[in-house]
């Protein structure tokens, strides 16, 4: 099931208590923004956390149960806090080529591409998914915490191009269904005459997008996700989102689908080695440091091109497998056997799938392939750690 490499002995499966102090934390502020699905989550018994100014469900029952449901069946996530920015016009492709680190003008209609929005100095403003919906129409999906920064950067860079840049976040709800049963659940909605994609769901390949309708309301159906599993992300009108959520719950229940919160989403993406903005990515990080050099097209000019290369000796992102059951958390020091600090953890958890702690960390390049001769300072205890390839988990 997993191709993760580790010389750490197998550990008992973690419990919810083991995950209770995970990196994903928040505060319950009464004046934060609410998802169009908020009342649905309340009725389902969700616990909430602040995330980028939104009250979002952190769990419904058990972090572990929700995590395992995604790996074995399906999980349903509310991602309506994400930012959707429409880019359209005769020069939309050329504009995005200049505004982003990747080349978007050459992707075919109906395809998606992961890309980076860089500062003029080459740091990462945000990581994005870009969908090409038509010859001159693109949808840029940014992280919730970077909605304003991403929109401002794109709008500012549009000067001189025949293009419009519109923030459509408030007019868009986003629901993700992730896990091996996802396609089957959507097929149930097709059979029930509620979901009408332009092509069969089974024809939609990874990083592709279809247009269609749900209950006569337009939807975008993308085969993308952030969990390491097969799955789909569905963009829909906020007023229709509750009906879509309910239909997916009803269709997916017999297949093992459960609503899932941000806590399980965080452990899923960590196991899959997927970076999180504010942890692995930020303005002080260059793409190559984060293992994202492949995303950058150095054959073209773009904003940030001059500063995209990291300074020699800059720390690089690695995966760590730890012994025992004590998880490394963001900010914990990575040390050598003599106690010298050579890095810092950016994300960590006791992996529900693998049964031992895993972490991502930035370390000095001369120890990035050091193997087992490292440790993480976990609250004063040096816990042995081995550098292992990312991702920790890959679906079979």
Residue 396: the pLDDT is: 83
Q: Which of 8-12, 14-18, 54-58 has the lowest mean pLDDT?
A: 8-12
- pLDDT, averaged across the chain: 93
Residues 50-69: tens digit of each pLDDT: 999 999 999 999 999 999 99
Residue 386 sits at φ, ψ, to 5 deg, of -115, 140
Q: Which three-class secondary structure string do you get for 12-54?
A: CCCCCCCCCCCCCCCCCCCCCEECCCHHHHHHCCCEEEEECCE
Residues 123-150: tens digit of each pLDDT: 999 999 999 999 999 999 999 999 999 9
Residues 166-203: tens digit of each pLDDT: 999 999 999 999 999 999 999 999 999 999 999 999 99
- Mean pLDDT over 293-318 rounds to 96
- Mean pLDDT over 279-301 rounds to 97
Long-range contacts of 182-185 (CB under 8 A, 24+ apart): 182/74, 182/229, 182/230, 182/231, 182/232, 183/230, 183/232, 184/255, 185/74, 185/248, 185/251, 185/252, 185/255, 185/257
Classified as helix, coil or strand, 155 is helix
Task: Provide the percentage of residues in the chain whose pLDDT is more than 70.
Answer: 92
Residues 333-365: tens digit of each pLDDT: 999 999 999 999 999 999 999 999 999 999 999
According to DSSP, the residues that pair with 390 across neighbouring strands are none
Is the Cβ–Cβ distance between 112 and 295 less than 8 Å? no
Is the Cβ–Cβ distance between 384 and 41 less than 8 Å? no
Residue 192 sits at φ, ψ, to 5 deg, of -80, 5
Containing H/E element for 222? strand 217-222
Residue 369: the pLDDT is: 87
Residue 14 has pLDDT above 70, yes or no: no
Residues 224-272: tens digit of each pLDDT: 999 999 999 999 999 999 999 999 999 999 999 999 999 999 999 999 9
Distance CA 182, CA 234 (A): 12
Residue 15: the pLDDT is: 54
Residue 106: the pLDDT is: 98
Distance CA 247, CA 224 (A): 20
Q: Where does the pLDDT of residue 331 fall: very low under 50, low under 70, confident under 90, or very high at 90 and above? A: very high
Distance CA 123, CA 141 (A): 19
Angle between the N-to-C axes of helices 241-252 and 182-191, in degrees from 0 to 180, rounded to the nearest 10: 110
Residue 10: the pLDDT is: 38
Number of helical H runs and strand E runs in the chain: 7, 21
Residue 74 sits at φ, ψ, to 5 deg, of -165, 145
Q: Which domains does the chain have, with CATH numbers?
A: 33-79+172-271 (3.30.1360.120), 83-161 (3.30.70.1400), 302-388 (2.40.30.110)
Tokens standing for residue 52? 């980028």
């Amino acid at each position: 099931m997993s191709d993760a490499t580790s010389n750490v002995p197998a550990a008992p499966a973690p419990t919810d208590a083991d995950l209770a102090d995970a990196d994903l934390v928040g505060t319950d502020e009464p004046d934060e923004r609410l998802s169009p699905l908020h009342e649905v989550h309340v009725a389902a018994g969700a616990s909430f956390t602040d995330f980028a100014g939104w009250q979002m469900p952190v769990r419904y029952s058990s972090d572990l149960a929700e995590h395992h449901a995604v790996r074995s069946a399906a999980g349903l996530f509310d991602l309506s806090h994400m930012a959707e920015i429409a880019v359209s016009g005769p020069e939309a492709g050329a504009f995005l080529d200049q505004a982003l680190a990747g080349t978007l003008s050459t992707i075919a209609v109906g395809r998606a591409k992961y890309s980076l929005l860089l500062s003029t100095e080459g740091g990462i403003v945000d990581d994005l998914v870009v969908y090409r919906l038509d010859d001159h129409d693109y949808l840029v999906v940014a992280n919730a915490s970077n909605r304003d920064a991403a929109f401002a950067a794109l709008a500012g860079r549009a000067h001189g191009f025949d293009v419009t840049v519109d923030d459509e976040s408030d007019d868009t709800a986003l629901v993700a269904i992730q896990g091996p049963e996802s396609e089957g659940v959507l097929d149930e909605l097709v059979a029930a005459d509620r979901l009408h994609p332009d092509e069969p769901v089974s024809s939609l390949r990874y990083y592709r997008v279809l247009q269609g309708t749900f209950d006569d309301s337009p939807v975008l159906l993308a085969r993308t996700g952030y969990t390491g599993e097969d799955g789909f992300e569905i963009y829909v009108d906020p007023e229709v989102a509750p009906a879509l959520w309910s239909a997916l719950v009803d269709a997916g229940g017999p297949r093992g689908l459960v609503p899932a919160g941000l806590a399980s989403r965080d452990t899923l993406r960590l196991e899959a080695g997927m970076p999180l903005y504010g942890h692995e990515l930020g303005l002080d990080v260059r793409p190559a440091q984060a293992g994202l050099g492949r995303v950058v097209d150095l054959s073209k000019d773009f904003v940030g091109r001059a500063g995209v290369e990291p300074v020699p000796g800059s720390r690089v992102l690695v995966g760590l497998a730890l012994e025992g059951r004590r998880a490394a958390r963001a900010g914990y020091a990575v040390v050598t056997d003599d106690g010298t600090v050579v890095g810092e953890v950016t994300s960590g958890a006791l992996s529900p799938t693998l049964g031992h702690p895993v972490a991502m960390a930035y370390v000095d390049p001369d120890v990035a392939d050091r193997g087992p001769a490292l440790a993480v300072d976990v609250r004063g205890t040096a816990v042995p750690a081995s550098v292992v390839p990312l991702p920790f988990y890959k679906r079979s």
